[in-house]
Amino acid sequence: MAATQPIVGFTRNPVGTPEIPGVCVKVLGAGKPSRDELLGFVPGLSALVTMYTDAVDDELLDAAGDQLKVICNFAVGYDNINISACKNRGIVVCNTPDAVTEGTANIAWLLILASARRLIEADRYARSPDYPKHGQLGMDEFLGMDLCNKLLLVVGAGRIGYATAQRAKAFGMRIAYVARSRHLDFEMAQLGAHRMTLEEGLAAADVVSVHTPLTEQTRHLLNADNLRLLKKEAIVVNTARGPVIDEQALVNALDEERLWAAGLDVYEKEPEVHPGLIENPRVVLTPHIGSAESAWRRAMTEMVCANVAAVLGDR
């Protein structure tokens, strides 16, 4: 290896083989590194590829050194990165927006369907000795929710929200969205969605699917006050960031049977999951696997490599 080759560091094992001409690739490991491991990994790197759980702050940037030119987050969100600190050092920050869209919309729909049709309860029951003892189910057992002609409220009208809404049309759902400004792509004939305020949407929705990024303005966007607006038959799904929903308020709403169900891929104190969510059979839980489809993860690796090559090549 030539001494002048820039070094690109991945904090996790990438999916597929990173192909970046003229660089040396280093990989830290498979699991989430400790803070000390991360600080020890970054010195000398020209490019750093992080995951959403890797906190990038002044301490890490100081440890990396002045030769660090670009940080690529292996995610669409980048709330783990101190953007101001990077900007002050002239470090470019990239993410992988397009590559996560379809996979995350798919997991949103997995959670919607599993919640609507009580999949977790049914799966547990079918595995238990109670099923053969009981015999064939009667007419009024394990009744789920029909989604046809129900209203899907998309909170956050970006790429993933749009892809989730597209899938809703196949189930005969009506669509509304919440966003800071109008999105004509949502309102055109293909989706026929209409824009609502958050309060209007929560009061009308049968399914709420959260797709907004985490900012100081969106932290606890769904909270004790506005969750009370939901119908008792409503479903809440979150594939964005956990802290967008006040988790204790959600648990309270579920415990008090003010909601039909919830489907969550993200958590407020991830990877910790609130015991009230774990214990509730009407909650479907997945461990932040929104983009975890092999084809899309390979696409994310390719996008990261293209971003690194563009920055290091001054393109």
* Residue 193 burial (10 A CB sphere; 0-12, 13-18, 19+): buried
Please choose, from the candidates 271, 266, 269, 272, the residue with its C-alpha nearest in 3D space to the C-alpha of residue 284. Answer: 266
Residue 241 bears catalytic tag = yes
Q: Is 252 helix (H, G, I), strand (E, B) or coil?
A: helix
The answer to whether 154 and 177 have CB atoms below 8 angstroms apart is yes
The one catalytic residue in 241, 247, 268, 274 is 241
Phi and psi at residue 26, in whole multiples of 5°? -115, 145
CA distance 75 to 86: 17
For 212, the token pair is 């907004």
Residue 256 bears catalytic tag = no
The one catalytic residue in 59, 187, 200, 270 is 270
In sign, the C-alpha dihedral spanning 126, 128, 133, 138 is: negative
Residue 117 bears catalytic tag = no
Q: Position 258: which residue type?
A: R
Catalytic residue ranges: 241, 270, 288
